[in-house]
């Protein structure tokens, strides 16, 4: 007898969504395990100045919990975190959560046909697990010579040091991705000197952001259909972008907006040259900002168009060989996206972890199930991202599939995707990615794993993904009948 039918690992939008979906499907015997003392994931951890979503909030929210009160088109972090907690509260998720319960390891027990999780609060067993540890959870700390000997303040953007007043400080920011372009404009005015180390200049498009007027909020409150129409409109516009991303030639046309934005915002020829990307737009995650380019033109800001090479006790040295004295280093170097820590913790039927099975190139059937890992479901698993649309589209599509699978599992001891089904699907995904802007756009992005294979992107539209995940097909799975479990245990 297991402790629970299902254990959900992680209390971000995926895990909370899973808890709600299970309840709706009548699966009541579950617990959510969260290592922190609070739900939230991404939005609990990323509290840097200027942190906000980069997909309009009307789409960056659960479809079953539209929120009429977003203050802006792109809501700030605190509002998103408050939304997350209120939805979780409404669906009684905190009551089903074990806080401060970190999963240290998980192993499939073939004899008992169950998962055994070792956690910081003791062992737990379940028939199935939903791994929702987050695709962008563990900050990536670059291996920079001398970094550990730096004597000033050092932190990652996802672990912002709010005790530190940046006023007048000499700051080095490493990285120019989604987080940096949000916080650099916020701190540039306070820092004494800010050196921004840019290995690759990103494409930055204008951000169609503004406060949402009271009248519009009232409309959304009283006529929820209006917000749903807005959500659908945003969704379909982003779908068009997805179609374009399959064809670099189309993206080069969209790129003209990026070129015009840069030309209008940056007058200085040399700076403009340094900020001009050398890859096709879409190859990396799209960035939106109206304040990034103006911030880079401040007197106290220097764009160093080189990677950082070395850190000394009180200075940093770029690939240009220049030593710049700094007292603070902020790492905006992203996350372990294609090598999430959860993959090192979960051991399948053959005793290997996901990480060992993947050998650096994650793969899963429709990003969700993996051969040799029975009764296990990955949230936002390999090749489910898209670089432009909302994670909620993926999360909700997956949950439809997973709840069907869990209901089917009630009649069996275990289900495990056929190795050949997974292999054929994976080959098809990789074939479809060849020649797309993500693979052939001329950039080095976190979409590519350590073997240079694209392990992050779903090559077709999210509409296609939703269709594929709308129907769980047991024929694609090896099934161990319920009675074999009893026989094995006897
Ligand atoms: C700054 C930032 C901005 C973003 N903006 C957008 C956006 O605009 N649009 C978009 O679509 N996506 C965005 N994303 C991606 C974002 O990560 C997803 O949208 C979404 O929040 C992921 O939710 P999740 O629940 O899957 O993972 P997370 O939010 O990362 O939650 C994972 C949870 O699992 C817990 N956990 C991890 N390991 C364990 C363990 N071993 N034991 C117990 N608990 C564990 C963590 O503590 C965490 O609470 C952004 C990401 C970042 C970092």
Residue nearest to atom 18 of ligand 1 (CA): 391
Q: What pLDDT shows up at residue 435?
A: 84
The sign one gets for the Cα dihedral 427, 385, 90, 19 is: positive
Residue 192 phi, psi dihedral angles, 5° rounding: -70, -45
Q: Does residue 45 have its Cβ closer than 6 Å to ligand 1?
A: no
Q: What is the spatial distance between Cα 56 and Cα 48, in angstroms, rounded to a whole number?
A: 19
Q: What is the spatial distance between Cα 423 and Cα 357, in angstroms, rounded to a whole number?
A: 13
Residue 306 phi, psi dihedral angles, 5° rounding: -145, 160
Report CA-CA distances (Å) from 477 to 110, 366, 419, 421, 426. Answer: 16, 13, 9, 8, 16
pLDDT at 487 over 70: no
Interval 468-488 mean pLDDT? 85
pLDDT at 148 over 70: yes
Q: What is the spatial distance between Cα 36 and Cα 20, in angstroms, rounded to a whole number?
A: 20
pLDDT tens, residue by residue, 198-247: 999 999 999 999 999 999 999 999 999 999 999 999 999 998 887 777 77
CB within 8 Å of 268: residues ≥ 6 apart = 297
DSSP-derived secondary structure for 336-380:
--SS-GGGGTEE-TTS-BHHHHHTT----BTTTB-TT-TTEEETT
Q: Does residue 103 have its Cβ closer than 6 Å to ligand 1?
A: yes
Cα of 46 vs centre of ligand 1, distance in Å, is 10
Residue nearest to atom 4 of ligand 1 (CA): 53
pLDDT at 341 over 50: yes
| Rounded-to-10 torsion of CA 119, 124, 125, 129 | -50
Cα of 131 vs centre of ligand 1, distance in Å, is 12
Q: What pLDDT shows up at residue 490?
A: 44
Q: In the chain, pLDDT over 70 holds for what percent of residues?
A: 99
Contact in structure between 421 and 478 (CB atoms under 8 Å): no
pLDDT grade for 486, boundaries at 50, 70 and 90: very low
Choose which residue among 10, 368, 378 to substitute to test ligand 1 binding: the one with the highest number of ligand atoms within 8 A of its C-beta: 10
Q: What pLDDT shows up at residue 441?
A: 84
Q: Does residue 80 have its Cβ closer than 6 Å to ligand 1?
A: no
Q: What is the spatial distance between Cα 148 and Cα 331, in angstroms, rounded to a whole number?
A: 13
Q: What pLDDT shows up at residue 484?
A: 55
Name the residue among 112, 104, 152 with its Cα closest to residue 331: 152
Which atom of ligand 1 sits closest to the CA of residue 395?
26
Which atom of ligand 1 sits closest to the CA of residue 40?
49
Report CA-CA distances (Å) from 250 to 243, 244, 280, 296, 388. Answer: 9, 5, 10, 29, 15
Contact in structure between 71 and 212 (CB atoms under 8 Å): yes
| Rounded-to-10 torsion of CA 96, 98, 99, 101 | -150
DSSP-derived secondary structure for 12-31:
SHHHHHHHHHHHHTT---EE
DSSP-derived secondary structure for 421-469:
HHHHHHHHHHHHHTTSHHHHSS---TTB-TTS-B-SB--S-HHHHHHHT
Contact in structure between 331 and 144 (CB atoms under 8 Å): no
Residue 113 phi, psi dihedral angles, 5° rounding: 50, 55
Interval 97-103 mean pLDDT? 98
Task: Give the pairing type, strands 412-417 and 477-481.
Answer: antiparallel
Which atom of ligand 1 sits closest to the CA of residue 33?
43
Cα of 389 vs centre of ligand 1, distance in Å, is 15
Report CA-CA distances (Å) from 474 to 149, 403, 427, 428. Answer: 55, 13, 21, 20
């Amino acid at each position: 007898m297991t402790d629970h039918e299902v254990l959900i690992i992680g209390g971000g939008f995926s895990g909370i969504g899973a808890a709600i979906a299970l309840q709706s499907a009548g699966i009541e015997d579950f617990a959510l395990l969260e290592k922190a003392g609070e739900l939230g994931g991404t939005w609990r951890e990323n509290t840097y100045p200027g942190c906000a979503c980069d997909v309009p909030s009307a789409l960056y929210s659960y479809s079953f919990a539209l929120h009429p009160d977003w203050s802006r088109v792109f809501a700030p972090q605190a509002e998103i975190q408050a939304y997350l907690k209120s939805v979780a509260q409404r669906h009684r998720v905190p009551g089903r959560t074990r806080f401060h319960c970190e999963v240290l390891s998980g192993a499939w027990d073939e004899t008992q046909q169950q998962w055994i999780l070792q956690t910081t609060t003791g062992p737990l067993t379940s028939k199935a697990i939903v791994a929702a540890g987050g695709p962008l959870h563990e900050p990536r700390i670059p291996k920079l010579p001398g970094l550990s000997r730096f004597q000033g303040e050092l932190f990652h953007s996802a672990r912002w040091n709010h005790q530190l007043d940046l006023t007048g400080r000499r700051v080095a920011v490493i990285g120019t991705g989604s987080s940096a372009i949000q916080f650099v404009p916020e701190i540039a005015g306070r820092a004494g000197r800010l050196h921004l180390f840019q290995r690759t200049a990103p494409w930055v498009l204008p951000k169609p952001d503004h406060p949402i007027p009271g009248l519009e909020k009232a409309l959304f409150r009283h006529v929820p259909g209006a917000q749903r129409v807005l959500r659908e409109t945003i969704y379909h516009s982003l779908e068009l972008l997805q179609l374009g991303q399959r064809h670099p030639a189309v993206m080069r046309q969209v790129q003209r907006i990026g070129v015009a934005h840069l030309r209008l915002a940056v007058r200085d020829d040399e700076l403009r040259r340094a900020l001009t990307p050398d890859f096709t737009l879409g190859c990396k995650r799209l960035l939106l900002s109206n304040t990034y380019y103006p911030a880079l033109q401040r007197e106290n800001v220097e764009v160093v168009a080189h990677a950082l090479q070395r850190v000394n006790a009180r200075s940093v040295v770029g690939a240009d060989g220049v030593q710049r004295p700094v007292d603070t280093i902020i790492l905006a170097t992203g996350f372990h996206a294609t090598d999430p820590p959860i993959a090192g913790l979960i051991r399948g039927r053959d005793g290997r972890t996901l990480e060992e099975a993947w050998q650096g190139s994650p793969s899963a059937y429709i990003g969700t199930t993996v051969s040799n890992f029975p009764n296990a479901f990955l949230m936002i698993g390999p090749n489910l991202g898209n670089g432009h649309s909302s994670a909620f589209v993926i999360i909700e599509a997956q949950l439809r599939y997973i709840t069907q699978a869990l209901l089917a599992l009630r009649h069996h001891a275990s289900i495990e995707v056929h190795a050949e089904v997974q292999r054929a699907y994976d080959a098809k995904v990789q074939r479809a990615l060849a020649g797309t802007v993500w693979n052939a756009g001329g950039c080095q992005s976190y979409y590519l794993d350590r073997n240079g294979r694209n392990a992050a992107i779903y090559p077709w539209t999210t509409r296609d993904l939703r269709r594929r995940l709308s129907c769980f097909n047991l024929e694609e799975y090896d099934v161990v009948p319920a009675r074999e479990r009893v026989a094995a245990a006897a």
